[in-house]
Amino acid sequence: MKGASYQPKTDEWAIEATALVKVFGKHRAVDGVDLAVRKGTVYGFLGPNGAGKTTVIRVLATLLKPDGGSASIFGHDLGTEGDEIRSRISLTGQYASLDEDLTGMENLVMMAKLMGYRRSEAKVRAGELLHAFGLEEAAKRQVKNYSGGMRRRIDIAASLVVTPDLLFLDEPPAGLDPRSRNQVWDIIRALVSGGTTVMLTTQYLEEADQLADRIAVINKGKIIAEGTSSELKASVSTGTLNIQLADAADRPQAMRIMEDKLAVAVHSSSDAASLTAQINDSFRVADALAELARQKIAVSDFSFGRPSLDEVFLTLTGHAATEDEPQPEEGAS
Amino acid sequence: MTEFVEQREKGENELRLAESIASSKRPKPPSGISSTLTFATRALLRIKHVPEQMFDVTVFPVIFLLMFTYLFGGAIAGSTEEYLQFLLPGILVMTVSQITMYTGIDLNNDIRKGIFDRFRTLPIWLPSALVGSLLVDIVRYSMAAAIMISLGFALGFRPEGGWLGVLGAVALILVFAFSLSWIWTILGLIMRSEKSLMMVSFMVLFPLTFVSNVFVDPRTLPNWLQSFVEINPISILATAVRGAMHGTATVQQVMLVLVVSVVMTAIFAPITIYLYRNKK
């Protein structure tokens, strides 16, 4: 029985994939991806547009046949046990995948009936979900008249008519305001505490950081890093040093001193009085600050912390997470 | 204070969410018949919410019948009333054949909007999504037929085959329309945009419906064109329907329509299902 006291059996895998390949024409959209996702966890799949995230999800959800490699979902082989897999998973795609001409209620009743509920039970279940997702007032409105956040919620609700063992969420907060985004995050947390495994793709590093137990970074069809968010951050460098100078005129001199003492590249940011550097030896930081003081360069503020996932991404791929291959439908920045 | 209320609200929301997630049961997957009926219900609900989509089976047939009767009646048969006896069965065939095209457009929309992907991840008998909407299409075609035949009566159409002949003719048209729909579902699965789908559909439909015996007696055509008109499935259907309505149909004519329908379904339905399952 699922409930609050559910403990994931960490020795079991929800997803195991080996050397997955998917080719579209000459483009290797997925190029040898290995994955292992534990039951009852949130797995973040992080990468820029066109990196292959959606393709991997579509392969794992039985929508696309892989051109190479193998995968199993809860131990069921992707190639031969599609029906068994389909009865345990749900997919919420990037775009609201409901009938926009039907009302929210009608959509959920339809989904419930397609999952095997009888008509009367389907209505009860649809009502329950509308209530839980705060959509009761919109129950009799056509989905095409819903706001972005409501659409996203009804879309996720449709995936939960029967609580899946594994939910694929493709870019859950795409185009949502912060409040709706938080609601989606709450839904994901509630699902996981109920025992569901969630695999979500995202370009929002903050989201992966907040939700995911483990994160895989994908770029050009290949996984380039995998681990917990702390592991990923630690793998890149010890941290980031930010220095704010009292006088912007000191910056060239301060930059020379710091490069000399830190032995790494120091970057001048757009703020004319600030400098940043990726540090891999924290002992040198004190040294550099002491040298600045000796040279009578006043520092008004400084911070030294672990890198954000954005910085991790930048280091791993050589470009920022959300600036790659801008696509017309995505306004992420 | 407001913070407290928000906190409490948030707590309640989470509780409701957790409850609805935990209270979910896992029923047995639906039977093929049950999922087919669910998809048919969906198509009916779409008609309820977007009644404009019924224009193709209501306004369209009326315009077609009036237009061609009065445009060609005098020139081809000498009088509109006489031409109507010849034209109505054929134009009924043509109109229904043309509106079968929208089956493909609906499927294409489902694919582009993503709901198609959702259906494909369900543990259901997959063809039920198509069969369900085709069932409702049959109802739509019957409506188009009823409207055209009623209007025809008002204009002076007098079928010699009686009611039974007319009903038999409509049944033949429905069987044929069902088998023709599979061509549009294939195109709907292949074409990437609604525009290109419309274009290709019209490219298939116009020669098929116009280069037939719907409007004129094929004997007036050049030989090479006559041979195409004779093997054109639309002509085969129009001949049988005309025969049935006027009480002159032979068993051979009717059988030919059924054979053509079975062959088309046997070829195009499996291709549709294959493409449906393996859609990228």
Q: Are strands A274-279 and A266-268 parallel, antiparallel or unpaired?
A: antiparallel
Chain A residues near residue B42 by CB distance under 8 angstroms = 99, 102, 106, 110
H helices of chain B, where?
A: 2-22, 32-49, 55-72, 80-99, 101-113, 115-120, 128-155, 162-190, 194-210, 223-231, 233-246, 251-277
Q: How many structural domains are present in chain A?
A: 2
Q: Is residue A260 part of a domain?
A: yes
Q: Cα B179–B184–B190 angle (5° rounding)?
A: 135
Residues B188, B104 contacting (CB under 8 angstroms) = yes
Q: How far is B204 from chain A (nearest CA, A)?
A: 28
User: What pLDDT does A327 receive?
Assistant: 40
What the block records as the tokens of A272 is 């004319």
Q: Is residue A322 part of a domain?
A: no
Query: Residue B1 pLDDT more than 70?
Result: no
- Going by C-alpha positions, the residue among A115, B12, B135 that lies closest to residue A125 is A115
- Going by C-alpha positions, the residue among A311, A225, A133 that lies closest to residue B20 is A133
Residues A178 and A198 in one domain: yes
Chain B residues near residue A96 by CB distance under 8 angstroms = 113-114
Residue A94 CA to its chain's centroid (Å): 13
Residue pairs between chains A and B whose CB atoms are closer than 8 Å? 127
Residues A130 and A252 in one domain: no
Give buried/exposed letters for A223-252 (b at 16+ CB in 10 A, else e).
bebbeebeebbeebbbbbbbbebeeeebbe
Segment A190-215 shows an average pLDDT of 87
Chain B residues near residue A169 by CB distance under 8 angstroms = none
**Average pLDDT in chain B:** 87
pLDDT tens digits, A93-152? 777 688 999 999 999 999 999 999 999 999 999 998 998 888 889 999 999 999 888 888
CATH code of the domain in which A110 resides: 3.40.50.300
What the block records as the tokens of A189 is 């947390």
Chain B residues near residue A141 by CB distance under 8 angstroms = none
User: Is any Cβ of chain A less than 8 angstroms from the Cβ of B52?
Assistant: no
Q: How many structural domains are present in chain B?
A: 1
Segment A255-260 shows an average pLDDT of 87
CA B203, CA B257: separation in Å to the nearest integer? 23
Q: How far is B108 from chain A (nearest CA, A)?
A: 13
ipTM, interface predicted TM-score of the complex: 0.83
**Average pLDDT in chain A:** 83
Query: Residue B231 pLDDT more than 60?
Result: yes
User: What pLDDT does A324 receive?
Assistant: 41
- Domain extent, residue B57, equals 30-277
Chain A residues near residue B278 by CB distance under 8 angstroms = 65
CA B42, CA B49: separation in Å to the nearest integer? 11
Give buried/exposed letters for A152-168 (b at 16+ CB in 10 A, else e).
bbbbbbbbbbbbbbbbb
Best A99, A121, A184 member to test B by mutation, with max B CBs in 10 Å, is A99
Residues B130, B111 contacting (CB under 8 angstroms) = no
- Domain extent, residue A43, equals 13-227
Q: How far is B145 from chain A (nearest CA, A)?
A: 26
Residues A158, B118 contacting (CB under 8 angstroms) = yes
User: What pLDDT does A237 receive?
Assistant: 62
Best B14, B20, B119 member to test A by mutation, with max A CBs in 10 Å, is B20
Residues A153 and A250 in one domain: no
Segment B245-257 shows an average pLDDT of 91
pTM: predicted TM-score of the whole model, two decimal places: 0.78
Best B10, B109, B122, B133 member to test A by mutation, with max A CBs in 10 Å, is B122
Query: Residue A194 pLDDT more than 90?
Result: no
Q: Is residue B24 part of a domain?
A: no
Scan for tokens 């794992």, then name that residue.
A60
Residues A65 and A143 in one domain: yes
Q: Is residue A290 part of a domain?
A: yes
Residues A222 and A244 in one domain: no
Other CB atoms within 10 Å distance of the CB of residue A298: 11
Query: Residue A315 pLDDT more than 80?
Result: no
Query: Residue A333 pLDDT more than 80?
Result: no
Angle of helix B194-210 versus helix B101-113 axis, rounded to 10:
170
Q: Is residue A165 part of a domain?
A: yes
Residues A67 and A153 in one domain: yes
Residues A137 and A244 in one domain: no
Q: Is residue A327 part of a domain?
A: no
CA B85, CA B80: separation in Å to the nearest integer? 9
Residues A61 and A151 in one domain: yes
pLDDT tens digits, B35-72? 999 999 999 999 999 888 888 888 988 998 898 888 88
Nearest CA in chain B to A1: B22
Q: Is residue B8 part of a domain?
A: no
Dihedral-angle region of residue A42 (phi above 0 means left; psi in -120 to 50 means alpha; beta otherwise): beta
CA B132, CA B112: separation in Å to the nearest integer? 19
CATH code of the domain in which A293 resides: 3.30.70.870
Residues A183 and A291 in one domain: no
User: What pLDDT does B149 receive?
Assistant: 94
pLDDT tens digits, B115-165? 888 888 888 888 898 999 999 999 999 999 999 999 999 998 999 988 999
Phi, psi of A46 (to 5 degrees): -115, 135
Residues A88 and A216 in one domain: yes
Residues A172 and A245 in one domain: no
Segment A12-39 shows an average pLDDT of 90
Q: Is residue B21 part of a domain?
A: no
Nearest CA in chain B to A65: B278
Counted residue by residue, chain B has a size of 280
Q: Is residue B115 part of a domain?
A: yes
User: What pLDDT does B12 receive?
Assistant: 66
pLDDT tens digits, A65-84? 899 999 999 989 988 888 88
Nearest CA in chain B to A2: B22
Amino acid at B9: E
Q: Is residue B193 part of a domain?
A: yes
CA B190, CA B280: separation in Å to the nearest integer? 10
User: Is any Cβ of chain A less than 8 angstroms from the Cβ of B54?
Assistant: no
Best B14, B23, B24 member to test A by mutation, with max A CBs in 10 Å, is B24
Q: Is residue A323 part of a domain?
A: no
**Which one of B17, B23, B26 has the shortest CB-CB distance to A190?**
B17
Q: Is residue A27 part of a domain?
A: yes
Chain B residues near residue A196 by CB distance under 8 angstroms = 21
Residues 57-96 of B with CB under 8 A from A: none
Which residues face A279 on adjacent strands? Answer: A239
Residues A247, A320 contacting (CB under 8 angstroms) = no
Residues A159 and A259 in one domain: no
